[in-house]
Structure 1
Amino acid sequence: MRVFANLLSFASRSLLMLGGIGLAVMTLIIGWQVFARYVLNASPSWSEQASLVLMIWFVSFAAAAGVKEGFHIRISAFADSLPGRWPNRLQLVSHLIVALVGAAMAFWGGELIMRTWEHTIPTLGISRGFAYLPLPISGVLIALFALENFLEQLNPAIAGDAES
């Protein structure tokens, strides 16, 4: 279990790094587009689509890392107000729901890729399916991260073991 936890931690850090790189590249592309439009009076045709594809990629990866690192949005006022073990139980259910959502992303993201692979993004010359490739990848990772969180909450010793 320790090797698996370490592998998932490495995957999460890698996703955050890729997300940061994608955000920086997208910022450069948008900056170039604005400069070219207003200074050179010749906006590149590829810049908007390239930025959108990059955004799909880095947002999907950051969402997966958010599940692992726990920085995703959640409202816990209701759960925290419950007595006894109910907050813990609701958190376990929450992890399972997130895992199911990740599995759904993986399944239907894969179907979306298959249905759009033959379509080409005209300004980039790449497959539309390539743009959607991070959906099933991040879906699988979301499911794995949520299941790991579930198991760590059931047995906190697992979390301490992964960090040693």
Structure 2
Amino acid sequence: MIELLSKFTHRMADLLVNLAGAGLILMTAIVGWQVFGRFVLNASPSWSEQASLVLMIWYVCFAAAAGVREGFHIRIVALEEAVPPKLKHGMKLINEIVVGFCGIAMCIWGGELVLKTWSHVIPSLGLSRGLAYLGLPIAGFLIALFSLERIFEELHGDDVENEEDPRWN
């Protein structure tokens, strides 16, 4: 069961990183077009700023969720590395539980935000404001799922790997 969950979450994290990267590239192109339009054509597209902001909400949420799965999110490990292994194990469990609850909170309150803003339209895009925020509950659900997987791995005694910069070791 854990292996099946691990395969699914690994593929999902890879997909999220790829989507986040594509969103960043697309946002960069949109902002580049906006700058070109403003300073060269003297006619900046009205939709570019809102479109880039919507993309940024989505790709940041997706990258944050993937960061939880892959362990490349921001954290300080100095205290964790300085304590005995049993205490380190407990600290990792507590960390994953807290991150999981943050994911649940994002899912619940992000979902409420989506519902409350669904009827509002982004004028320059003609899209629902709720659609812009839909990445929050999706990412929150995935963060909670990825944290649950890491909790299972920690309880099972697996060495939960993190993507760390080798220069810090």
TM-score tier by shorter-chain length is over 0.9
Amino acid paired to 1:64: A
- Secondary structure of the residue that 2:73 maps to in structure 1? coil
CA contact (8 A) 2:100 2:148 kept: yes
Deviation at 1:83, TM superposition (A): 3.0
1:8 aligned partner: 9
Q: TM-score, normalised by structure 1?
A: 0.93
- Secondary structure of the residue that 1:85 maps to in structure 2? helix
Amino acid paired to 2:77: S
Q: Does 1:90 align with 2:91?
A: yes
In percent, how many aligned pairs have the same letter? 55
| Unpaired segments ≥5 residues, structure 1 | 160-164
Alignment size in residue pairs? 159
Deviations 1:32-63 (A, max 9, x none): 00001000011111100000000000000000
1:52 aligned partner: 53
| Unpaired segments ≥5 residues, structure 2 | 161-169
CA distance in structure 1 between the partners assigned to 2:103 and 2:48 by the alignment: 30
Pairwise CA RMSD of aligned residues?
A: 1.3
CA distance in structure 1 between the partners assigned to 2:157 and 2:41 by the alignment: 59
Deviation at 1:158, TM superposition (A): 9.2
Q: TM-score, normalised by structure 2?
A: 0.90
CA distance in structure 2 between the partners assigned to 1:149 and 1:83 by the alignment: 20
Amino acid paired to 2:156: N
Matches within 5 A, 1:10-159: 10-157=11-158
Deviation at 1:84, TM superposition (A): 4.3
Greater shift in the superposed pair: 15-24 or 79-88: 79-88
CA distance in structure 1 between the partners assigned to 2:85 and 2:39 by the alignment: 61
CA distance in structure 2 between the partners assigned to 1:84 and 1:7 by the alignment: 29
Deviation at 1:156, TM superposition (A): 3.9
CA distance in structure 2 between the partners assigned to 1:61 and 1:5 by the alignment: 18
